[in-house]
């Protein structure tokens, strides 16, 4: 297996671009996948999030395209179709292509048609026969139907995040496209998680593929995962402590389960002088990409995101559960013929209900996806402020850190089912699933370590949390949400000409935005943490990234333990358990 990019015998222009990207050594999926793809094999690849799958398919594609161009310079056509489930991912693949074609851009043309640009604008781009088209299945179908996208000369088909393609409701689009593809297309299906839906996709588009399931043990060790049992209100307390005392260092991606909670948490953190960006499906795709860019450039350290593709995954896992339940029921039913017919009626009814539920969710979530495949750079910690509702969503969320062999931490707050609804304020309905998601993860061999904060230490900060939360009223949250949308409208290129014709509306919008700048009452004293509240020795921790636990209390018991240097670096052991 090649250990070095030079061993792939790539075109020198690609080789230089790889060096320019700073890739010194191929990742596991690249070492295994590139030679097979260069050899013309169809591939179904499952490899961990952040393991370099994008380059694993783009590098061989570019090599094969350049070779083909050398053979017949005059041959023109759309040779490659890259299908992704979301617009964000399409734009990201486009950017990676820009980097990899830095020295051969003259010979390889590519377009992304999963954008907001009007069909009329995209049409001429396609009629110019770019070598590579990046798209979502639905955008491809739109242009294929209008005759702008010709599939006659397609030689390579890539489906990235393949398991999401069908669960995003692209079944019909995929079956129309597969019928239009010529024979002998080389297909590469890539995903971090393989599900049932891959099997049907594989049947639709692959010819006897090589299946690669790559377990990168080395990369596994890079992600440290913690689960913190807490309550709704203490989530805010712990977030304050973790972020303000810089127990989490470096860039942080926080996930919540509702759009309103993005703004609540953002306003709450602002009370302590902490700036963050919000990312959700309500914002236009250009703004979303802009936000990821600003974060990647290091202009902001904290993003608060919702992960609405969760809902689609939830339906998938619900289906899996139902399938398991149905299988069990069927086994039992072998001995009870009468009950058997009732069971199948019931499961038919359930399937119908699920299908209609699925249709509704898909309509809402289509082409939006913050989590799948997006490369947030150098994220040191993923904080699940709200636990995702499926194990699969958990895997993809935490996969935004510990990418490309770098270390990372994932911390997830969970509320025990028995506590849901017990305390004020009322907890989110999704919390009911927190523990079942942890159980599912455990079945998959993923066991976040339990982490217990020292109540004595955290309680010292409680009044500050309560003080800040009081200022973040529901009205302030709604105002912030509306203000953000207004700002995005003002920034929108598309609306510029409209406002030029309707200056009064622009004036009203500008006025409303200015009026809502002060969204929540802020209290200057909350910005600083008084020295006396800080746990002893906290400032002595000089780590730049990752999770830094509270130092031990200086009492006799812990003083004894201090002698044991092995334990000193283990965050779990350095906490004094409160329960």
Ligand X SMILES: Nc1ncnc2c1ncn2[C@@H]1O[C@H](COP(=O)(O)OP(=O)(O)OP(=O)(O)O)[C@@H](O)[C@H]1O
Residue 60 interacts with ligand X (CB under 6 A): yes or no = no
Tokens of 209: 């593929």
Choices 122-130, 214-222, 276-284, 398-406; region in contact with ligand X by CB under 6 A: 398-406
Question: How would you classify the pairing of strands 248-249 and 546-547?
Answer: antiparallel
CA contacts within 13 A on the Cβ side of 449: 11
Residue 399 interacts with ligand X (CB under 6 A): yes or no = yes
Shortest separation between residue 191's beta carbon and ligand X, angstroms: 7
Give, as ranges, the residues between 327 and 366 that touch ligand X (CB under 6 A): none
Residue 369 interacts with ligand X (CB under 6 A): yes or no = no
**Of the two residues 220 and 467, which places its CB atom closer to ligand X in the complex?**
220
Close Cβ partners of 488 (under 8 Å, ≥ 6 residues apart): 283, 284, 287
Residue 52 interacts with ligand X (CB under 6 A): yes or no = yes
Among 13, 41, 53, 288, binds ligand X (CB under 6 A): 53
Tokens of 37: 């793809």
Query: What are the helix (H) ranges across 402-502?
Result: 434-443, 455-459, 462-471, 474-491, 493-501
Among 8, 10, 14, 26, binds ligand X (CB under 6 A): 26
Residue 388 interacts with ligand X (CB under 6 A): yes or no = no
**Of the two residues 196 and 377, which places its CB atom closer to ligand X in the complex?**
377
Among 11, 14, 27, 228, binds ligand X (CB under 6 A): 27
Cα 293 to Cα 306: distance, rounded to the nearest angstrom: 17
Residues comprising the chain, all counted: 579
**Of the two residues 31 and 41, which places its CB atom closer to ligand X in the complex?**
31
Among 28, 32, 46, 51, binds ligand X (CB under 6 A): 51
Cα 578 to Cα 228: distance, rounded to the nearest angstrom: 13
Cα 100 to Cα 176: distance, rounded to the nearest angstrom: 31
Among 375, 419, 454, 488, binds ligand X (CB under 6 A): 375
Among 404, 509, 529, 534, binds ligand X (CB under 6 A): 404
**Of the two residues 50 and 209, which places its CB atom closer to ligand X in the complex?**
50
Reported in sequence order, the residue ranges of 199-284 that DSSP labels E, i.e. its strands, are 210-214, 223-229, 248-249, 251-256, 277-279
**Locate tokens 């770098």: which residue?**
406
CA contacts within 13 A on the Cβ side of 105: 11
Cα 27 to Cα 405: distance, rounded to the nearest angstrom: 9
Using an 8 Å Cβ cutoff, are 201 and 34 in contact?
A: no
Tokens of 561: 């333990």
Among 28, 32, 46, 54, binds ligand X (CB under 6 A): 54
Residue 282 interacts with ligand X (CB under 6 A): yes or no = no
Shortest separation between residue 547's beta carbon and ligand X, angstroms: 21
Q: How many residues bind ligand X (CB under 6 A)?
A: 19
Secondary structure (3-state) at 132: strand
Query: Of the candidates 180, 205, 175, which has an alpha carbon nearest to the alpha carbon of residue 190?
Result: 205
Residue 222 interacts with ligand X (CB under 6 A): yes or no = no
**Of the two residues 92 and 115, which places its CB atom closer to ligand X in the complex?**
92
Choices 38-46, 50-58, 75-83, 501-509; region in contact with ligand X by CB under 6 A: 50-58
Residue 23 interacts with ligand X (CB under 6 A): yes or no = yes
Cα 111 to Cα 68: distance, rounded to the nearest angstrom: 19
Residue 49 interacts with ligand X (CB under 6 A): yes or no = yes
Secondary structure (3-state) at 55: helix
Choices 23-31, 330-338, 339-347, 506-514; region in contact with ligand X by CB under 6 A: 23-31
Instruction: Summarize as ranges the residues that interact with ligand X (CB under 6 A).
Output: 23, 26-27, 30, 47, 49-55, 192, 373, 375, 377, 399, 403-404
């Amino acid at each position: 297996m090649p250990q070095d990019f030079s061993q792939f015998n790539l075109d020198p222009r690609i080789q230089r671009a790889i060096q320019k990207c700073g890739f010194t050594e191929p990742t596991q999926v690249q070492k295994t996948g590139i030679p097979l793809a260069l050899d013309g094999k169809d591939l179904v690849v499952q490899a961990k999030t952040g393991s370099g799958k994008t380059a694993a398919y783009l590098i061989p594609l570019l090599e094969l395209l350049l070779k083909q161009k050398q053979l017949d310079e005059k041959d023109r056509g759309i040779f490659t179709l890259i299908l992704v489930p979301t617009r964000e991912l399409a734009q990201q693949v486009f950017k990676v292509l820009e980097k990899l074609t830095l020295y051969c851009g003259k010979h390889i043309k590519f377009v992304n048609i999963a954008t907001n640009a009007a069909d009329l604008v995209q049409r001429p781009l396609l009629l110019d026969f770019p070598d590579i088209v990046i798209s979502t299945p639905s955008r491809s179908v739109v242009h294929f139907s209008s005759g702008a996208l010709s599939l006659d000369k397609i030689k390579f088909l890539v489906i990235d995040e393949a398991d999401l393609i069908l669960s995003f409701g692209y079944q019909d689009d995929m079956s129309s496209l597969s019928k239009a593809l010529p024979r002998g297309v080389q297909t590469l299906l890539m995903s971090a998680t393989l599900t049932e839906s891959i099997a049907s996709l594989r049947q639709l588009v692959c010819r006897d593929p090589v299946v690669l399931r790559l377990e990168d043990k080395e990369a596994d060790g890079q992600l440290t995962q913690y689960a913190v049992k807490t309550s709704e209100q203490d989530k805010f307390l712990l977030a304050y402590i973790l972020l303000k005392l810089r127990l989490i260092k470096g860039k942080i991606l926080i996930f919540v389960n509702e759009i309103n909670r993005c703004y609540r948490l953002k306003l709450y953190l602002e009370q302590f002088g902490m700036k963050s960006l919000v990312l959700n499906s309500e914002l236009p795709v250009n703004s979303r990409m802009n936000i990821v860019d600003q974060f990647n450039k290091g202009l902001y350290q904290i993003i608060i995101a919702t992960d609405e593709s969760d809902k689609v995954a939830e339906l998938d896992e619900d289906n899996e559960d139902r399938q398991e339940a149905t299988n069990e029921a069927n086994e039992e039913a072998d001995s009870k013929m009468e009950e058997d017919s009732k069971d199948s009626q019931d499961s038919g009814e359930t399937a119908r209900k699920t299908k209609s539920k699925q249709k509704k969710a898909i309509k809402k979530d289509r082409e939006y996806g913050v989590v799948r495949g997006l490369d947030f750079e150098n994220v040191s910690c993923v904080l699940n402020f709200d636990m995702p509702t499926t194990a699969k969503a958990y895997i993809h969320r935490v996969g935004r850190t510990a990418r490309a062999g770098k270390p990372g931490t994932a911390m997830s707050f969970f509320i025990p089912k028995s506590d849901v609804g017990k305390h004020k304020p009322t907890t989110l309905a999704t919390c009911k699933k927190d523990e079942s998601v942890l159980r599912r993860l455990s079945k998959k061999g993923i066991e976040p370590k339990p982490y217990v904060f020292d109540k004595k230490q955290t309680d010292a900060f409680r009044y500050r949390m309560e003080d800040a939360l009081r200022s973040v009223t529901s009205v302030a949250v709604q105002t912030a949400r509306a203000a953000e949308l207004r700002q995005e409208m003002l920034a929108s290129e598309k609306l510029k000409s409209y406002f030029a014709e309707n200056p009064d509306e622009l004036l009203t919008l500008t006025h409303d935005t200015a009026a809502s700048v002060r969204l929540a009452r802020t209290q200057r004293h909350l910005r600083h943490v008084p020295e006396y509240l800080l746990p002893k020795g906290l400032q002595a921790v000089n780590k730049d990234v990752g999770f830094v636990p509270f130092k031990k209390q200086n009492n006799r018991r812990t003083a004894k333990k201090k002698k044991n240097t092995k334990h000193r670096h283990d965050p779990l052991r350095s906490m004094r358990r409160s329960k």
